[in-house]
Amino acid sequence: MYFLDFEKPIAELESKIEELRHLSDADGLNIAEEVGRLQVKVDKQLKGVYAKLTPWQKTQVARHPNRPHCIDYLKALFTDVTPLAGDRVFGEDRAIIGGLARFRGQGVVVVGQEKGDDTETRLRHNFGMAMPEGYRKVCKLLDLADRFQLPVLTLVDTAGAYPGVSAEERGQAEAIARSIDACLDLRAPLVSCVIGEGGSGGAIAIAAGNTVMMLEHSIYSVISPEGCASILWRSGGMAQQAAEALRLTAQDLLEFKIIDEVIAEPMGGAHRDRAAVFASVGDAFERHLRELGTLDGATLRQKRREKFLRMGREGLA
């Protein structure tokens, strides 16, 4: 397990527990009481630390290397997953994966951003930073969903769309714009969940949904704290301040009515109990799909558009 800076005291306690367990194995001593006492202490600390994470700490948790990624959710929550590659124009971009699948028995289109878990998979998925091909693949999949009346579930986890020469050459901006356009044009339910990082245009490109949810310790922002700091403070080192100023936590977004629901994470974050987080995300998806399932395509589209039209309007005098 990888430990973040602010988790160091917890890490120490846990290694102590581990040591004790080895001791008891070797010497046959009964130290269950001591282990239990330490475990209580760990739980208390975890609860304490995670109850009041700062925006910058949440950013770190959202990017935690052990945090479950898109593929983990695909494996846990879906059956008959049939990935459909390519944008039919230029290529296949593995930063975005998607295709047909069954979610608790129901046929759906699923789309998500995958960051990868080790060097090899990170490179294969380009660290979850999509090229224009990725967004054009989304358009292809949304078109399928529209024509075959399949609900769409999206899993958002990206630092942002890839900033590079080839991406610009092939129209990164246009590809994102069309992907947002396709989301807002879809005549089928669209439910999105930010499972880690919701990085700017690259995230909203697959997250303009009827219902948008966020995991408790995920973030969603117009720009990364580092990027914001380097522009407005002219120093990348001010990322902590930028994270505070940007109001990028799930709780902030719920307050601004940008998202509809915050899904609670297991104590100590999604990476500490994957099964629990898969279950909560699955249940939330199911609940929203059931609600939206009663509406026809045109109503779904209209409601989705009205929802986004309202955003920010309340603050205008």
Q: Applying CB under 8 A, which residues contact another protein?
A: 161, 163-165, 167-174, 176-178, 180-181, 183-185, 200-201, 204-205, 208, 220-223, 227-228, 231-233, 241-242, 245-248, 252-253, 256, 258, 305, 308-309, 311-313, 315-317
In whole angstroms, how close is the CB of 228 to another protein at the nearest point? 6
Q: How far is the CB of 212 from another protein (least distance, A)?
A: 10
Nearer to another protein, 134 or 266 (CB): 134
Give the H/E segment covering residue 107.
strand 106-113
Beta bridge partners of 198: 158, 220
The neighbouring-strand residues paired with 219 are 197, 249
- Secondary structure class of 2 (helix, strand, coil): coil
Can you tell me the distance from the alpha carbon of 132 to that of 124, in angstroms, rounded to the nearest whole number? 16
List the beta bridge partners of residue 155: 112, 193
Counting every residue written for the chain, the total comes to 317
Closest CB to another protein among residues 148, 256: 256
In angstroms, what is the minimal distance from the CB of 30 to another protein? 53
Closest distance of CB 199 from another protein, Å = 10
Task: Please report how close the Cβ of residue 189 comes to another protein at its closest, in angstroms.
Answer: 17
Q: Which residues contact 309 (CB under 8 A, 6 or more apart)?
A: none
- The DSSP code for 315 is G
In the chain, count of helices (H) and strands (E)?
Answer: 14, 8
Q: Which residue's CB is nearer to another protein, number 83 or number 164?
A: 164
Please state the closest distance from residue 96 (CB atom) to another protein, in A: 15
Q: How far is CA 118 from CA 127, 194, 304, in A?
A: 10, 21, 37
Name the β-bridge partners of 212: 192
- Cβ-based nearer residue to another protein, 181 or 286: 181
Name beta bridge partners: 194. Answer: 156, 214
Strands 152-158, 106-113: pairing is: parallel
Nearest distance from residue 127's CB to another protein, in Å? Answer: 11
86 versus 312: smaller Cβ distance to another protein: 312
Residue 190's Cβ-side half-sphere holds a number of Cα atoms within 13 Å equal to 35
| SS3 of 92-149 | CCCCEEEEEEEECCEEEEEEEECCCCCHHHHHHCHHHCCCHHHHHHHHHHHHHHHHCC
CB closer to another protein out of 19 and 255: 255
Q: How far is the CB of 281 from another protein (least distance, A)?
A: 21
- Of the two residues 102 and 247, which places its CB atom closer to another protein in the complex? 247
The residue among 16 and 247 lying less far from another protein, judged by its C-beta, is 247
Take residue 186 and report the two structure tokens written for it.
């879809």
